[in-house]
Amino acid sequence: MIASVKGKLEGVTADSVIIDVNGMGVEVIVPNNVIGRLPKQDEAIKLHTYLHIREDAMQLFGFLEKEDLDFFKLLITVNGIGPKAAIAILSSMSTDVLTFAILSEDIKTIEKAQGIGAKTAKKLVLELKDKVGVINAKAVELRSDSSSDISLTIGSAIKEEASQVLEALGYSRTEAMKAITAIEITEEMTSEDLVKSALKNLM
């Protein structure tokens, strides 16, 4: 397996980059967010990669961050999601947003990825809800930083009520969950207090 590719950036296409590795041009398929963060041509670049082998082709998929590669590998374990579908998902949203979407069962956000329908999005949530917190470093950091050990999932009545209010105001389930999770909830806090604090985060 090719775990990483390091060399000079030789070229860029709509969905891939060409890296000069000791005189050999290696094409690596990447999500859109990588295209926007590339160094200048002929400058050094390193991508963490996954080699996908088919009967008619071998394709390399690459990411600037190791955590993104780990998330990619997790996505392709879901039946019906291949490497290109996983790239499409990670092109439409960050792993942080995707994590919150999965944990909050926000099917509509996941459906925004090209080629991902409601059935596949539901399957993704079902199979990955208990796994994404381990893969996504930011989610793990949020969980460990909470002094009251607040779960990333909206489990308590106060968080669920606040989330419903925010959704009624036009925010998505994912946006509501991210805003609520960022708040350190105390025993004295009411759902109204939580909504007010969440709205400050959202604005």
Task: State whether residue 150 is helix, strand or coil.
Answer: coil
What does pTM read for this prediction? 0.68
User: Residues of the chain with pLDDT > 70: what percent?
Assistant: 88
Burial class (CB in 10 A: 0-12, 13-18, 19+), 143: middle
Helix or strand run (H / E) with residue 126:
helix 118-128
pLDDT value, residue 190 = 78
What's 81's DSSP letter?
A: -
In this predicted structure, the answer to whether residue 139 has a pLDDT above a threshold of 80 is no
In this predicted structure, the answer to whether residue 187 has a pLDDT above a threshold of 80 is no
In this predicted structure, the answer to whether residue 134 has a pLDDT above a threshold of 80 is no
Helix or strand run (H / E) with residue 52:
strand 44-53
Q: Residue 12: give the domain boundaries.
A: 4-64
For the ranges 50-54, 65-69, 173-177, the lowest mean pLDDT is seen at 173-177
135, 151: one domain:
no
How many CA atoms are closer than 13 Å to the CA of 137, on its beta-carbon side? 6
138, 163: one domain:
no
Name the band, by pLDDT with cuts 50, 70 and 90, for residue 128.
very high
pLDDT value, residue 143 = 41
The strand ranges marked E within 13-153 are 16-21, 24-29, 44-53, 58-63
80, 22: one domain:
no
In this predicted structure, the answer to whether residue 20 has a pLDDT above a threshold of 90 is yes
23, 8: one domain:
yes
Which of residues 104, 119, 145 is at a domain's end?
Answer: 145
One-letter amino acid of 78: V
Query: How many structural domains compose the chain?
Result: 3
User: Residues of the chain with pLDDT > 90: what percent?
Assistant: 44
Which of residues 64, 92, 113 is at a domain's end?
Answer: 64
For the ranges 37-41, 81-85, 191-195, the lowest mean pLDDT is seen at 191-195
For the ranges 34-38, 61-65, 160-164, the lowest mean pLDDT is seen at 160-164
pLDDT value, residue 82 = 93
Name the band, by pLDDT with cuts 50, 70 and 90, for residue 85.
very high
Angle at 149 between CA 145 and CA 154, to 5 degrees: 105
Domain at 94, CATH number = 1.10.150.20
